[in-house]
Structure 1
Amino acid sequence: MVSDASRPDSSKVSAKSARAGVGGLLRGFVQHPVLVSRVVYTKVKSDPVRVAQAAAEALPPRLRPLVGRVAWPAARRARRAVRKFGMRVIRAPWNEAKEHWNAGNVTLAAQVLEAHTKYPFVKRRAAYYQGELAAISPDPIPPGAKVSVGERVQGRVLHCVTNALPYTQAGYTVRTHRIVTAQKAAGLDPHVVTSWGWPMFQGFADVTPYEEIDGIPYHRLLPDGRGEMPFEMRGRMVRGADSVTELVKELRPQLLHAATDHRNGSVAHAVRERTGTPYVYEVRGFLEETWASRDPIRVGSERHVLQREREAFLMREADAVVTLAETMAAEIVERGVPRERIFLAPNAVDDSLLTAHYDGASFRHAMGIGDDEIVVGSVSSIVAYEGFATLLRAAALLRDQGAPVRVLIVGDGAERPNLLELVEELSLTSAILPGRVGPEEALQAQEAIDIFACPREDLRVCRLVTPLKPVEAMALGKPVVLSDLPALSELVGSEGAGLLVPPGDPAELAKAIAGLRDDPARRAEMGEAGRAEVAAKRTWGRVAETYRDLYRSLT
């Protein structure tokens, strides 16, 4: 079905990444001078140093040193001037509150600051903590008046997501766009709406309320310049629920489809109560487990428990739950959802990827990799639980055994500096970590890899959630070596589509890589088995059929 929501002020844009820049800020200011001024003022008041840094990154490279010499020092001086006197008095409680916050003890963090809220910056931080706590507590969004929607548009679905292309390039946003384009091809009429204030609060001042990306309508819930500009999560969720209610009245969808986390789920739940629109909750991950995995002290903390309970409530309340894998479905059942109300829509790839060919040779040459060298690696966000330190240590063992490989880890993240230090420590000159690349280069990097590695750590989040990148590698015919964890073993099935090794064990990983390194026929056989596994179960066309059947059962 073709959307009837065309608008005279709509614009068609590319799904390629967009950058916040000075030009966009100026265009936004010309279009909405009061609104953009208020957004900038709110951001500067919150953290002037971060605003100065963002401004520097948005400028042309030749002008960035000027900002570094002028804007950053000025911003630091401004922040110090505002806080200098106050911090003499409250430095200890400020740091104590920050420690409580980082550990997940949100109530304690707010209470510690409560006695010092005569200082504006302390009052603001305490309000932020309280708003974040309210967002994960029961009933974060107050009830609203019942709304009459009228006759629903057949096949129309409104997807509620946190962020989206082209302003954020990530696995989450790519999955959203692949889902909705496949749904459109399957005869549905999908629309996408992003969270309130996004992406204007992220620096894209000239963003429009409505865009079409590859023919898919994307709606942006932008501030209107009236009333307070909420800076904490609960306030934005309340605004979001009001705005999505109005959008439902306009679009008249048959269903809401909210993707994790609880912020989108809470908005969808509130809108269902107001408009009678059923909602599907898509659990793409357990973000409270991801957060807790970064520090053991967080496990069982107030934030961890409350967010887990909020997510479980939204799953139980949903008319249906969609998730990515059987391991995740089992976890959702433990949270109180009957298995028959859970549907699988795994991470998948475009059907075209199964026969696509990318210029991996050019990428190898650009990285200084010889045609006869065996490349082992990954294209991924670089975070600790991905286990890339294990891969580097395995490569060092192979070098010492006289069976060297080139390690290629493409991407960026908090763990990358630590990996670069480990490369130095191991004297692993064969390792290449080029940083973040664009979507097309990422596929070229996948093609450049001979053996794809996903050596994730044995953490709860890794046991539950299946990543997308190994699926893409399998679709391209690459042999994969994965940690032997439930969510990863589910990817390769039982037909020899990959090798499983104990997590965190460089010696076993090195042994598996060595077996593939010297056996090109086995690599090719395993790659074809992986491609067949993806073709049978993990294409967006097949996933769209699952969604279509589910939606029909609910309307």
Structure 2
Amino acid sequence: MRVALISEDTYPYVRRGAATWCHQLLHGLDRHTFHLVALISAATVPEPAYTVPSNVSTVSAYPINGRPVRHRNRPAATAAAVILCRGFLSEETEMFADGLRRLADLAIGGHPLHGVPLADVLLDAWQAGRRPDSPRMSVRDARSAAELIEYALRPLAVRLPPVDLCHPVAAGLPLLVALAAKWRSGTPFLLSEHGTYLRQVEGSPSVRAVLLRFYRALTRLGYAEAALIAPVSRFNQRWDLRHGADPARVVVVPGGVEPLRYPVLPNEPLVPTVVWVGSMVPRKDLHTLIRAFRRVRDAVPHAGLRLVGPQDDPGYVASCRRLVERLRLDGVVRFDDPVQSSRQAFAAGHLVALSSVAEDMPYPLVEAMMCGRATVSTDVGAVSEVVGDTGLLVPPGDPVALAGACVDLLADPARRRRLGAAARARALRLYTVDTVRRAYTHLYREVTAA
């Protein structure tokens, strides 16, 4: 089977998002031939971060921010843009689909919106369908929103080689490539979702409102056109159904890890230590964990906290460091660089904590469970369905409850071992890479057979 695997700013050029998931999937589906389509936000294509397996026939990188190719049929493109904008701003799905399909047809040979007065079109559509509670849109706002939408629609110009199936690994921009292929050549697509795709856009209230409606309309259209939708959790499945997905075409396929890479950790360090692993960004809510650890330190005088991972938001990390100083936890809370494997980080702790406010598929928890480490987590998103009864759950944003759960486990070695063993058994049963590969082998057959 020939499959076009479509990603955005991840595989094979960047080690983030669904990149590791893509790499693991490809290595297990060697009966299929893959054509990789990588949408890149950078102006130039970076050096690959992965060596692709032998079942990948071609890798095509498309810098979305590169200079677009002007299309000669500007009147038709302008008319399609009017239908598109009026469709998503008024939440008329059929109108939005009509406009997008016209633009997909016009994108053959060049990007259809380059040279189109999209800001004027957008401003007219906003004023025509403006609700009493909607923010006002200035000319400057219209230009900002138009530029973002113009960039977002550039993947419509991507042309695929003959394939049997498209597999976008996220909604949004990868979805546009799959939709265009379906409309042009009838190629079905399977949509994987590792998270809910609604971008956080900076700008005025009207710019944010425009982009929110655009991506919401695109996501709903993708759900309607997909042969199958495969979210990584029941939490995401509820999102899909809430936005119009057919329940019969939604199949939950949780993410998985390779058990051989995460064998059981037999020993614990001498100093009581809590470990957190992840990207240091606001939604991971390190402030709550740091405040909780002030209470942990008071109850367990020699305890330490290690925060391990990339510092992707320097401003946020700086605020965390200031909080550490204010709570007099200098030297107690460590900010460690990323390690080659999260198992190295887990080995330095007695338990693993997760303090997030949003989780679609908490891979660090799955990896900790596979290593046999006990976990304490905030009960958000898919955390409870992943952990089950093998870890402690506390309300999000509650440092008192988080501290209490950590202290209880630090004080009870037998309970830590019992929970860790149960967590590994659960991970081996539900969250392995082989399980993911078997599921997608079946889904590929189901889509192409239909």
TM range (shorter): 0.7 to 0.9
CA–CA distance in structure 2, aligned partners of residues 413 and 298 of structure 1: 28
**What is aligned with 2:281?**
383
Instruction: Say whether 1:183 aligns with 2:29.
Output: yes
Instruction: Say whether 1:291 aligns with 2:206.
Output: no
**What is aligned with 1:331?**
239
Instruction: Say whether 1:264 aligns with 2:264.
Output: no
CA contact (8 A) 1:354 1:531 kept: no
Pairing partner for 2:61 from 215, 221, 227: 221
**What is aligned with 1:519?**
412
> Which deviations, in whole Å up to 9, do the C-alpha atoms of 1:369-405 show, x marking residues without a partner?
xx41122122111111212111111111122234442
Q: Aligned with 2:329: secondary structure?
A: coil
Instruction: Say whether 1:162 aligns with 2:8.
Output: yes
> Which deviations, in whole Å up to 9, do the C-alpha atoms of 1:297-325 show, x marking residues without a partner?
79983322332222121112111111011
**What is aligned with 1:322?**
230
Matched letter for residue 347 of structure 1 = G
**What is aligned with 2:312?**
413
**What is aligned with 2:256?**
348
The Cα of 1:167 is off from its aligned counterpart by: 3.0
CA contact (8 A) 2:295 2:403 kept: yes
CA contact (8 A) 2:342 2:367 kept: no
Instruction: Say whether 1:449 aligns with 2:449.
Output: no
Pairing partner for 2:433 from 531, 540, 547: 540
**What is aligned with 2:271?**
373
Q: Aligned with 1:270: secondary structure?
A: helix
Matching of residues 397-412 of structure 1 within 5 Å:
397-411=295-309, 412=311
Uncovered stretches (5+) of structure 1, i.e. residues with no partner: 1-154, 362-370
Structure 1's 532 and 268: CA in aligned 2 closer, same or farther, altered over 3 A?
same
Pairing partner for 1:425 from 318, 326, 336: 326
CA contact (8 A) 2:355 2:377 kept: yes
Matched letter for residue 163 of structure 1 = D
**What is aligned with 1:276?**
186
CA–CA distance in structure 2, aligned partners of residues 343 and 286 of structure 1: 15
The Cα of 1:179 is off from its aligned counterpart by: 2.0
Instruction: Say whether 1:473 aligns with 2:368.
Output: yes
Matched letter for residue 371 of structure 2 = L
CA–CA distance in structure 1, aligned partners of residues 436 and 164 of structure 2: 19
User: Greater shift after overlay, 222-231 or 517-526?
Assistant: 222-231
Structure 1's 416 and 281: CA in aligned 2 closer, same or farther, altered over 3 A?
same
CA contact (8 A) 1:188 1:548 kept: no
Q: Aligned with 2:61: secondary structure?
A: coil
Instruction: Say whether 1:503 aligns with 2:396.
Output: yes
CA–CA distance in structure 1, aligned partners of residues 428 and 321 of structure 2: 36
CA contact (8 A) 1:349 1:540 kept: yes
Structure 1's 181 and 278: CA in aligned 2 closer, same or farther, altered over 3 A?
same
CA contact (8 A) 2:194 2:361 kept: no
CA–CA distance in structure 2, aligned partners of residues 225 and 326 of structure 1: 40
CA–CA distance in structure 2, aligned partners of residues 174 and 280 of structure 1: 19
Matched letter for residue 356 of structure 2 = R
| Percent identity (aligned) | 25
> Which deviations, in whole Å up to 9, do the C-alpha atoms of 1:405-452 show, x marking residues without a partner?
2111112122211111111111102100124x25x2544113323211
CA–CA distance in structure 2, aligned partners of residues 216 and 236 of structure 1: 31
> Which deviations, in whole Å up to 9, do the C-alpha atoms of 1:495-554 show, x marking residues without a partner?
x31100111111111110111102122111111111111111111111111111111112
The Cα of 1:285 is off from its aligned counterpart by: 1.1
CA–CA distance in structure 2, aligned partners of residues 200 and 502 of structure 1: 38
CA–CA distance in structure 1, aligned partners of residues 214 and 221 of structure 2: 10
Q: CA RMSD in A?
A: 3.2
CA–CA distance in structure 2, aligned partners of residues 347 and 281 of structure 1: 14
Matched letter for residue 339 of structure 1 = P
CA–CA distance in structure 2, aligned partners of residues 284 and 434 of structure 1: 26
Q: TM-score, normalised by structure 2?
A: 0.74
Q: Aligned with 1:329: secondary structure?
A: helix
Matching of residues 98-109 of structure 1 within 5 Å:
none
Q: Aligned with 1:159: secondary structure?
A: strand
> Which deviations, in whole Å up to 9, do the C-alpha atoms of 1:244-284 show, x marking residues without a partner?
33xx23xxx21100122311101110111111110111121
Structure 1's 442 and 351: CA in aligned 2 closer, same or farther, altered over 3 A?
closer
CA–CA distance in structure 1, aligned partners of residues 207 and 296 of structure 2: 36
Q: Aligned with 1:514: secondary structure?
A: helix
CA–CA distance in structure 2, aligned partners of residues 299 and 455 of structure 1: 31
CA–CA distance in structure 2, aligned partners of residues 530 and 409 of structure 1: 22
The Cα of 1:455 is off from its aligned counterpart by: 1.4
Kindly report structure 1 stretches of 4+ aligned residues shifted beyond 4 Å: 222-239, 294-300
Matching of residues 42-81 of structure 1 within 5 Å:
none
> Which deviations, in whole Å up to 9, do the C-alpha atoms of 1:327-351 show, x marking residues without a partner?
1111111111121100112121013
Matched letter for residue 386 of structure 1 = K
CA–CA distance in structure 2, aligned partners of residues 453 and 426 of structure 1: 19
**What is aligned with 1:58?**
none
The Cα of 1:236 is off from its aligned counterpart by: 5.7
CA contact (8 A) 2:10 2:17 kept: no
Instruction: Say whether 1:192 aligns with 2:36.
Output: yes
CA–CA distance in structure 2, aligned partners of residues 484 and 302 of structure 1: 32
Matched letter for residue 183 of structure 2 = E
The Cα of 1:471 is off from its aligned counterpart by: 0.9
CA–CA distance in structure 2, aligned partners of residues 481 and 297 of structure 1: 37
> Which deviations, in whole Å up to 9, do the C-alpha atoms of 1:110-153 show, x marking residues without a partner?
xxxxxxxxxxxxxxxxxxxxxxxxxxxxxxxxxxxxxxxxxxxx
CA contact (8 A) 2:273 2:305 kept: yes
Matching of residues 15-164 of structure 1 within 5 Å:
155-164=1-10
CA–CA distance in structure 1, aligned partners of residues 343 and 43 of structure 2: 30
**What is aligned with 2:212?**
304
**What is aligned with 1:68?**
none
> Which deviations, in whole Å up to 9, do the C-alpha atoms of 1:28-67 show, x marking residues without a partner?
xxxxxxxxxxxxxxxxxxxxxxxxxxxxxxxxxxxxxxxx
Q: Aligned with 2:280: secondary structure?
A: coil
Q: Aligned with 2:200: secondary structure?
A: helix
Matched letter for residue 313 of structure 1 = L
Structure 1's 182 and 296: CA in aligned 2 closer, same or farther, altered over 3 A?
farther
The Cα of 1:220 is off from its aligned counterpart by: 2.4
CA–CA distance in structure 1, aligned partners of residues 203 and 289 of structure 2: 22
Q: TM-score, normalised by structure 1?
A: 0.60
CA contact (8 A) 1:199 1:207 kept: no
CA–CA distance in structure 2, aligned partners of residues 491 and 298 of structure 1: 38
Q: Aligned with 2:361: secondary structure?
A: coil
Q: Aligned with 2:288: secondary structure?
A: helix
CA contact (8 A) 2:299 2:407 kept: no
